[in-house]
Amino acid sequence: MSQKTATKRPVQRSEMSKAQWTWKEIKRNKTAYFMVAPFMILFIIFTVFPVVLSMVLSLTDFNMLQLPHWLGTENFSRLFLDDEIFILACKNTLIFAAITGPVSYLLSLIIAWFINELPPKIRAAVTPIFYAPSISGQVYLIWKTLFSSDSYGWVNATLMDLGFISTPVLWFEDADYVMGLCIVVALWTSLGTAFLAFIAGFQTIDRSMYEAAAVDGIKNRWQELWYITLPTMRPQMMFGAVLSITQSFGFGAIVTALCGFPSVDYAAHTIMNHLDDYGGSRYEIGYASAIAVVLFVVMITCNIVIKRALSKVGE
Amino acid sequence: MKLKKLRTRNHRVVLNRSAGGDIGISFFLILMGLFMFLPMYYVIIQAFKPLDELFMFPPRFYVIDPTVENFKDLFSLLSDSWVPFSRYIFNTVFITFCGTFGNLLIASLAAYSLAKLHYPGRNFLFQVIVLSLMFHSTVNQVTHFIILSAFGWIDTLLSVIVPAMATTIGLYLMKQFMETSVPDTVLESARIDGASEFRTFWIIAMPMVKPAWLTLIIECFKNLWNTGASIYIHSEELKTFNYAIQQIVAGGIARSGAGAAATVVMMIVPITVFVFSQSQIIETMGSSGMKD
């Protein structure tokens, strides 16, 4: 194991045991630890510790007021066996994630690929149009105006004008529509960091690879994409996948903003909303922690499985 | 061998591109572009519509008699509230500035250490950072509440600023970018000249990764700028501009003009920041890839 560090001579490993060597190396790199420390301290306080704390609290009945009692796995059995709304939320979240995750990922990839075919000046003008909804915060509330439940909503007005409907449809108050609409709006806001990573990925590929490929018999842009571009871009695709999956499980605020809380018949109720309900409103911290733990495990598992699958692209 | 005629664009040979494909792609891009753009456009149009046009049937995608009345209304509506309008804007700007600056400083320092120094535990630390990208931070909001109240930070702006400083996505992108764009040899010669590690970081490495600063800034900025009603803050004078907008929009249909005006004010800032830093951000993203 060769350690390349400048300041002092690296310690010879063979002269001592592994623990001694590690300790020497730690002392020699004190500055490096100082540099990483401020971030790591905050990261541990606000990310690592909260996850661990959730896991512990999920086994208790903590409610911010009384001392917690140990419940074992009771919270989890209550979640899966007695809480019908949670089961509904799980179903909704999975549908939400199963649609928005892959669709937003593919849209990001395809749009980035197509944009990359444009001349640089046009490319720079077009990129912000696709990226803007994801950085503009509350702007998605405009969908509430477009799909407003009265005839001032553009969609209702247009449909009435064309004679498809005679009375306004209550889009965000109808259990048949809320889920679909929330998915559309979520997709609209989803061309974010992953999308930019893909654009960058396409630009880093060496042109000469395509020329060589053309000589070797690649016939069209689809073959180019599959045999050259995607395998070269695999690291970006990984990164994009992680972000898309995380994002697709995290939608909750959009649902509340568009449909109110709870959404009609809980038709668009996600695990995030359920978590907000128990954690933010009812202060059943123990139970809310159990919900958080379930969500955490689902997100991490899904990410790891998809990463495994993606590492096989182009092999 | 039969030579086929090569297509050219600007006198350069274009390989493997059929005209049909070009048309199909343009068509798809225009369609998706409209889907993305029209709602944004509609917000802008709504913001400039006078009251009678806002209530016109059917609603129009253009404005006949544009007015800035809605923007004026926005100011008068907010000046009626018992917390001055400027206070909401100050809170948003303050949160955004402190959080972003703090994140830039400590994340760059950590990124330099993780990218360019070799020490036991380095890979493990980075693995944990990558793992944190795999779940949404709202999972932690319940336990955040407990931690923040232990610190006595509930109902202070610190409850928003400090956790934001530990955002990992900026650190991740910064670290990846440093790895590829700061050559070890340059750092080496600075150290030989006797520069301390902190000095090497500040004088040599940081100026070389300016594109990554901008990327980190926009990643952090977009979240903080859009901070709405935080569950950790209940004092009216500590609420954000975004929260004030939500209150206006909640006022119902009569306020829809002012609501649209407020949304336009909110969205203009991040979009402008992005437009001007676009090329640098894309440059940073070039090294964003994740290894298996």
The boundaries of the domain holding residue B211 are: 76-285
Q: Are residues B107 and B48 located together in one domain of the fold?
A: no
In a domain, B7, yes or no: no
The residue extents of the domains of chain A are: 77-310
Q: Are residues B58 and B100 located together in one domain of the fold?
A: no
Average pLDDT score over residue span B47-63:
82
* CA B146/CA B154 separation, integer angstroms: 9
Q: Say whether A31 and B146 touch across the interface (CB within 8 A).
A: no
Structure-block tokens of residue B177: 């970018």
Tens digits of per-residue pLDDT, A219-243? 888 888 888 888 888 888 889 999 9
Q: Read off the pLDDT band of B75 (50, 70, 90).
A: confident
pLDDT of residue B15 exceeding 60 = yes
pLDDT at B10: 64
Average pLDDT in chain B: 86
Average pLDDT score over residue span A269-297:
90
Q: Are residues B59 and B142 located together in one domain of the fold?
A: no
Structure-block tokens of residue A244: 């898309």
Average pLDDT in chain A: 87
Q: Are residues B223 and B248 located together in one domain of the fold?
A: yes
Min mean pLDDT across A195-209, A295-309, B36-50, B247-261 is at B247-261
Torsion B185-A36-A201-A122 (CA) sign? negative
Q: Are residues B34 and B85 located together in one domain of the fold?
A: no
Average pLDDT score over residue span B226-233:
79
Q: Which residues of A touch B42 (CB under 8 A)?
A: 142, 145-146, 154
The residue from B35, B67, B99 where one domain ends is B67
Task: Please report how many Cα atoms fall inside a 13 Å half-sphere around the Cα of residue A222, on the Cβ side.
Answer: 5
pLDDT at A262: 83
Secondary structure of residue B158 in the 3-state scheme: helix
Tens digits of per-residue pLDDT, A50-108? 999 999 999 998 887 888 888 888 899 999 999 999 999 999 999 999 999 999 999 99
Q: Which of B15, B198, B286 sits opposite A210 (nearest CB)?
A: B15
Counting residues of chain B whose pLDDT is more than 90, the rounded percentage is 46
Q: Say whether B42 and A142 touch across the interface (CB within 8 A).
A: yes
pLDDT of residue A313 exceeding 70 = no
Q: Read off the pLDDT band of A3 (50, 70, 90).
A: very low
Q: Read off the pLDDT band of B3 (50, 70, 90).
A: low
Tens digits of per-residue pLDDT, A19-64? 888 888 888 889 999 999 999 999 999 999 999 999 999 999 888 7
Q: Are residues B40 and B113 located together in one domain of the fold?
A: no
**ipTM value:** 0.88
Tens digits of per-residue pLDDT, B234-264? 888 888 888 887 777 777 666 778 888 888 9
Q: Of B110, B223, B122, B127, which is closest to residue B174 (Cα–Cα)?
A: B110
Q: Does A247 touch chain B (CB under 8 A)?
A: yes
List all residues 6 or more positions away from B18 whose beta carbon is below 8 Å from its beta carbon.
Answer: A220, A221
List all residues 6 or more positions away from A80 whose beta carbon is below 8 Å from its beta carbon.
Answer: A86, A87
Q: What is the number of domains present in chain B? A: 2
Find the largest Cα–Cα distance for chain B.
83
Q: Are residues B162 and B183 located together in one domain of the fold?
A: yes
* CA A142/CA A137 separation, integer angstroms: 11
Residues 106..165 of B with a Cβ closer than 8 Å to A: which?
Answer: 106-107, 109-110, 112-114, 117-122, 125, 128-147, 162-163, 165
CATH topology of domain A77-310: MetI-like fold (1.10.3720)
C-beta separation of A240 from A198 below 8 A: yes
Q: Are residues B31 and B170 located together in one domain of the fold?
A: no
pLDDT at B54: 80
pLDDT at A1: 41
Counting one residue from A and one from B, how many pairs have CB atoms under 8 Å apart? 323
| A50: preceding bond cis by omega (within 30 degrees) | no
pLDDT of residue A8 exceeding 70 = no
Find, in chain A, the residue whose alpha carbon is nearest to that of B219. Answer: A193
Q: Which H/E stretch holds residue B13? A: strand B12-14
In a domain, B208, yes or no: yes
Per-residue b or e along B246-276, where b marks 16 or more CB atoms closer than 10 Å to that residue's CB: bbbbeeeeebbbbbbbbbbebbebbbebbee
Tens digits of per-residue pLDDT, A134-192? 998 888 888 888 888 777 788 888 888 888 888 888 888 888 888 999 999 999 999 99
* CA B278/CA B286 separation, integer angstroms: 13
